[in-house]
Amino acid sequence: MEGINVSEQEYKFGYVTYEEPVPLTSEFAKNLLEGKVIGNQCTKCGAKYLPPRNGCSKCFNRDLVPFEVNPEATLRAFTVIHFAPESFTDKAPYIVAVGQMENGLGVLAHLVGVTSMPKVGMQMKLVAQKLDQDRVVYKFVKA
């Protein structure tokens, strides 16, 4: 494809990769690195997806266009993980949060930088962090 400056690098999303990386996640991670949370929208029925999908699950249209999501979020639910999965043992304790974003969208991510117990309803912002050369995560911080 012309016009897009794709460094051939593949990016991985999240702290751990469990499935074979796909172009969708690599692209999502690359956008995150540029500070953008990019979802996509169906050109036929208007359904919005965050994280993005390969096709529209409502009408099976393959033609989805990217849109930038406002990173502001409200805390819907949270937990502090003390007993972690094997791959996360050295990270515990960490806070996992569900954030509500615009247009009914939302994601699950770590919440970092809080010094006391978070409060459901608090305002947050979704930010990106590069973990190493090819791995990116998003996390919530207090707004």
Site residues, another protein (CB under 8 A): 13-19, 22, 25, 51, 76-89, 91, 94, 96, 98-99, 106-110, 120-121, 137
Contact residues for 30 (Cβ-Cβ < 8 A; gap 6+): 9, 11, 136
What's the residue count for the chain? 143
Nearer of residues 2 and 132 to another protein, judged by Cβ? 132
Minimum distance from residue 118 beta carbon to Zn ion (Å): 35
Residue among 95, 93, 96, 67 nearest 82 (CA): 93
Considering CB distances under 5 to 8 angstroms, the limit depending on partner class, which of Zn ion, another protein, none binds residue 47? Zn ion
Nearer of residues 108 and 143 to another protein, judged by Cβ? 108
Minimum distance from residue 104 beta carbon to Zn ion (Å): 15
Nearer of residues 67 and 81 to another protein, judged by Cβ? 81
Burial (CB count within 10 angstroms: exposed 0-12, middle 13-18, buried 19+), residue 5: exposed
Supply the Cα-derived Rg of the chain in whole angstroms.
Answer: 16
Minimum distance from residue 135 beta carbon to another protein (Å): 10
Nearer of residues 3 and 104 to another protein, judged by Cβ? 104
Residue among 74, 30, 19, 28 nearest 50 (CA): 28
